[in-house]
Amino acid sequence: MRKFDVRILWFSGFRLALAGAFGAVSANAAFTPLTPIQTPRITASSTAYPGGAFEVGNLADGVLKTEYSSDNKGAGTFVEFEFDAPSTIGAFRHVDRNDPATIVGSQLVFADADGRTVATVPVKHSGARGGETFFTLHAPVTARRVKWSVTGLGPQGFGTVGGAEIAFYSSGPVEEAAIRDTVEVKQVPIVDKTSVGQVQTLRVTLDHPYAEPADAVVRLGADQSKTLRLQPGRQTIEWRVPAVAAARTAAQVLEVAGKTVVQTEQRRAPVRPLTVYVLPHSHTDIGYTEIQTEIEDKQVQNLVRGMEIARQTASYPPGARFVWNVEVLWAADLYLRRLGEAQRKEFIEAVRAGQVALNGMYLNELTGLCRPEELVRLFRMATRLGAETGVPVDAAMISDVPGYSWGTVSAMAEAGIRYFSVAPNYFDRIGDDPGAVGEQAVLLGWARMDGVEGAGLDSVLGLRDVAPLPRDVAAPGRGFLRWPGAAGVSL
């Protein structure tokens, strides 16, 4: 694979905290603490999405990764809860699904033990993936039961809505200072070069478990401070500060309504330099997004357009020139069989000029279904094109397929493939938490189990952690990470 490097921007998600109608809080104001109520029983709900992975109990398990989704009930989605005894409720928290199926509105209907409604409260939500809504009631409500119902769907209107977590909070005795507030500061490992020097972003997460909002100041050392308005619940902000050239420790202080409530230390360290390479390519997923003939046309056109952009940027400095990476050679085969002699010569010259990079597999194959001869033939076009162009094909790429048979490395070694870039669908295809260590053990062990002298892969790209690979697998001291992405990609 060939690469060109570019600068990238860091985008982060956000959380939304929504408060009821509380006025401004002065420096001597009192604070009403909000304490989580023991998880109520779920007594009824709309039908969950089939398959068993999105059951309603996930809303109350304390794990953000698990979610409840209704079976496309949309605004008909609901969940009913019952407390062990009448409870006084002062706030409600909902974390939305980390999915395009989000909500912008819901309703809470509180009832007594006999089912009589005592209050109905509308709630606004952000509509963002993973958005967190912390809603304080105008006045606490005492109830035994509560029904939560979706009233508004997110921007895309998907009906498989629900959430990751739901919790209820009680109001406690008033406190003179926000002593329960906490602050956590994390460094974003990216430095931005600006006109005033190098700047680093700090991600600051504050938890304000009180019914009243408050003015606050976060201080870092003697010369850095950030003023903000705390809303009930948890909120995350991004704070840009000068980057540090060497590790150092600074005092970290949180002041709320003029009083110091947190005082600790923050250790800052310089950002590790990284070179980021972007490999433009189009994932081959025949029949997934379009019928097969449409995918064929798109893949041929991708090569045509890729070579066109490469020619347009040929005069750019090294590292900025566009290179089109052919994920699997089926696309190149289509191009060569469909187009005329002039365009075939154009393709060969583009490969020789480094404007098109070829990868060794013919398709994203289920290698576990292949016989030995089929594995060898999987790389036959790579050796043929390498001989025809004079540019050896020494890398292979595979996406989506979540496993590769032991014989694949031998077939790659026979074909001269030294580098293997993988992007498995590690979630619902093979389980929700395979773990980076397990992936490394399998992939690196794979490189050692080949019986051919010197045939072990030089590098395996696609590990989920940036970590040095063993000397017999990668260059000493070099780490790799592949971030597969689909932005702007046409299959």
Beta bridge partners of 459: 419
How confident is the model over 273-280, as a mean pLDDT? 84
* SS3 call for 348: helix
Phi and psi of 333, rounded to 5°? -60, -45
The answer to whether 34-171 and 279-461 have equal CATH topology is no
pLDDT bracket for residue 23 (50, 70, 90): very low
Q: Can you give the pTM of this predicted structure?
A: 0.67
pLDDT at 422 exceeding the cut of 80: yes
How confident is the model over 282-288, as a mean pLDDT? 85
What is the per-residue pLDDT across 82-137, written as a single tens digit (0 to 9) for each?
A: 999 999 999 999 999 999 999 999 999 999 999 999 999 999 999 999 999 999 99
3-class DSSP string for 190-209: EEEEECCEEEEEEEEEEEEC
E strand residue ranges, 7-116: 34-36, 41-45, 68-69, 78-95, 103-111
Domain boundaries defined on the chain: 34-171, 178-268, 279-461
Identify the architecture of domain 279-461 in CATH. Alpha-Beta Barrel (3.20)
Q: Which of 65-74, 389-398, 426-435 has the lowest mean pLDDT?
A: 426-435
Read off the DSSP letter of residue 74.
Answer: G
Higher-confidence position of 167 and 1: 167
Closest to 400 (Cα-Cα) out of 296, 327, 450: 327
Q: List CB contacts of 100: < 8 A, sequence separation 6 or more.
A: 129, 154, 156, 158
CATH number attached to the domain at 34-171: 2.60.120.260
Return the pLDDT at 399.
Answer: 84
Distance CA 77, CA 56 (A): 11
pLDDT bracket for residue 491 (50, 70, 90): very low
How confident is the model over 147-162, as a mean pLDDT? 97
Return the pLDDT at 442.
Answer: 42
pLDDT at 236 exceeding the cut of 70: yes
pLDDT bracket for residue 78 (50, 70, 90): very high
What is the per-residue pLDDT across 304-334, written as a single tens digit (0 to 9) for each?
A: 999 999 999 999 999 899 999 999 999 999 9
pLDDT bracket for residue 26 (50, 70, 90): very low
How confident is the model over 279-286, as a mean pLDDT? 88
pLDDT at 175 exceeding the cut of 90: yes
Q: What is the average pLDDT value for the chain, to the nearest integer?
A: 84
Q: For the domain made up of 178-268, give the CATH fold.
A: Immunoglobulin-like (2.60.40)
Taking CA 417 as the corner, what is the angle to CA 416 and CA 419, rounded to the nearest 5 degrees? 145
* SS3 call for 257: coil
Determine the distance from the C-alpha atom of residue 230 to the mean position of all C-alpha atoms in its chain, rounded to a whole number.
Answer: 27
pLDDT bracket for residue 427 (50, 70, 90): low
